[in-house]
Structure 1
């Protein structure tokens, strides 16, 4: 894998009134690698994710994507630059078929030119839809309404939708939340395969063991600040991380 930096986060801070939700957080994500952000509830990881993806504007700091300052840019501008995201809560058109969800997302491949054209005319978008349906094993569900899919299938479809515009960096917010053990294993394998194909990924994830098995680099948040970062084994062995997070996580996993 190519080890150059695709994302630089520099001093990101956001305040909501007197509350500092994220305080002076910096880290880098490497191209073709899986970088994960973890932390206990209320640590600020979702706010950090939203700052990076453009969902909220920072009070201070910078987000550099491939060396370009994208701080505070709207999500559509982020997508145009090559950065896509999924959401913690499934964000699909449940009343539309799987294929139509993907077609709407794939119109971006044509830089918006296909948005108001007839379906048959959007050849590039339709080719991308067929590619994604096969890639995500959705052939038997392509004409089903998205609302009729299982939770695991909906999460898989949402990742496919996020990939429709061929981003170079994919941000996944709690991709295994609410999944069964089998669906979690399938999602882990999917994320590994995407990274193996050269896609860069940034995850916010609650499943510590999944993060440790999957990630190249881990960033630990605590009370709105970065507590530690590094390779999984290094982070797991950090006494401050163990005291702040892993002990509680292990107890919860055996509860």
Structure 2
């Protein structure tokens, strides 16, 4: 398989803090690549660098064979890369359907905001697909703020997929979820890769979930790459156990 995302020597510094330093890794197409590490390891900064929210001080990002270093989020979306956020990021006062419709207007190629809803056929079709796919049809007209936490997180993933990206960055998608909702999200993520052919880069604190779900794991510690490899090899790595779990087993 070919790399859909390549990060090479990526660095960013905030004053004296080196949030990410000389980080390199690849994420293969059609696979789930996870980034783990203790709090403050630089995972969220890495996502912000890749998605264009902040510009790196050094290094490059290549996506789908093209250098995209420092491109703003809207251009990364146009290139086929979308992301969710660690803190749920929805229009809580709007219905579920409207949250999805606003995201799906992207498919109208810049003309969606000027068209009446009845003429936004591509966006409307995508909304109905997402409502069914994410089991939100019965909640379609419910205000997003009234959904359960698990439903809100599911809706946020659906919003991120409205533009039909080729790669999705998921920032702690199971944060605050119950055990049952976490398992449902795991099934959903697997289905997005196996059935829809999506490539996923995942930041997640639930280590058991990461090890069960991922094809490849990158471990960060103090802004740098500590280790990477198959889940079993990473979990058995003594340096990872010391840095991440607090002791070597």
* Same fold per superposition (TM over 0.5): yes
Give 1:4 deviation, angstroms: 1.2
Does residue 94 (structure 1) correspond to residue 92 (structure 2)? The answer is yes
* Deviation of the 1:138 alpha carbon: 0.5
| Corresponding position of 1:233 | 232
Question: In structure 2, what is the equivalent of residue 244 of structure 1?
Answer: 243
Q: Report the 3-state secondary structure (helix = DSSP H, G, I; strand = E; otherwise coil) of the residue aligned with 2:70.
A: coil
Query: What secondary structure, in the 3-state scheme, does the structure 2 residue paired with 1:161 have?
Result: helix
Match for 1:179 among 174, 177, 180?
177
Q: Is 1:118 the counterpart of 2:116 in the alignment?
A: yes
Contact 2:239 2:248 in 1 (8 A): no
Per the TM alignment, residue 249 of structure 1 is displaced from its structure 2 partner at its CA by 11
Matched with 1:209 is: 208
* Mapping 1:77-88, distance limit 5 Å: 77-88=75-86
Shift of 1:247: 4.2
| 1:208/1:249 contact within 8 Å kept | no
Structure 1 residue 248, shift from structure 2 partner: 6.2
Q: Provide the aligned C-alpha RMSD in A.
A: 1.2
Aligned to 1:9, which of 7, 10, 22?
A: 7
> CA offsets per residue over residues 148-172 of structure 1, 9 Å max, x none?
1000000000000000000000000
What is the alpha-carbon distance in structure 2 between the residues aligned to residue 207 and residue 19 of structure 1? 26
Q: Distance between the aligned counterparts of 1:116 and 1:178, measured in 2?
A: 38
Cα distance per residue 1:106-150 (max 9 Å; x no partner): 011112211231111100100000000000000110000001100
For the residue of structure 2 that corresponds to 1:84, the secondary structure is strand
Report the alpha carbon displacement of residue 21 of structure 1 after superposing the two structures with TM. 0.7
Equivalent-residue separation in structure 1 for 2:217 and 2:34 (angstroms): 5
Query: Is 1:41 the equivalent of 2:39?
Result: yes
User: What TM-score results when the alignment is normalised by the length of structure 1?
Assistant: 0.95
Structure 1, unaligned runs of 5 or more: 251-255
Contact 1:88 1:175 in 2 (8 A): yes
Aligned equivalents of 1:150, 1:52: Cα separation in 2: 30
Residue aligned with 2:113, SS: coil
The 2-side partners of 1:79 and 1:10 are apart by 21
Aligned to 1:253: none
Q: Can you give the 5+ residue segments of structure 2 that lack an aligned partner in the other structure?
A: none
- The 1-side partners of 2:56 and 2:114 are apart by 34
TM-score by length of 2: 0.97
Matches of 1:52 and 1:116 in 2, distance apart? 31
Moved over 6 A (4+): none
Equivalent in 47, 64, 67 of residue 65 of structure 2: 67
Question: 150-159 vs 239-248, which deviates more?
Answer: 239-248
- Check conservation: 2:241, 2:248, Cα contact below 8 A: no
More deviation in 224-233 or 238-247? 238-247
d(CA) in 1 for partners of 2:27 and 2:180?
29
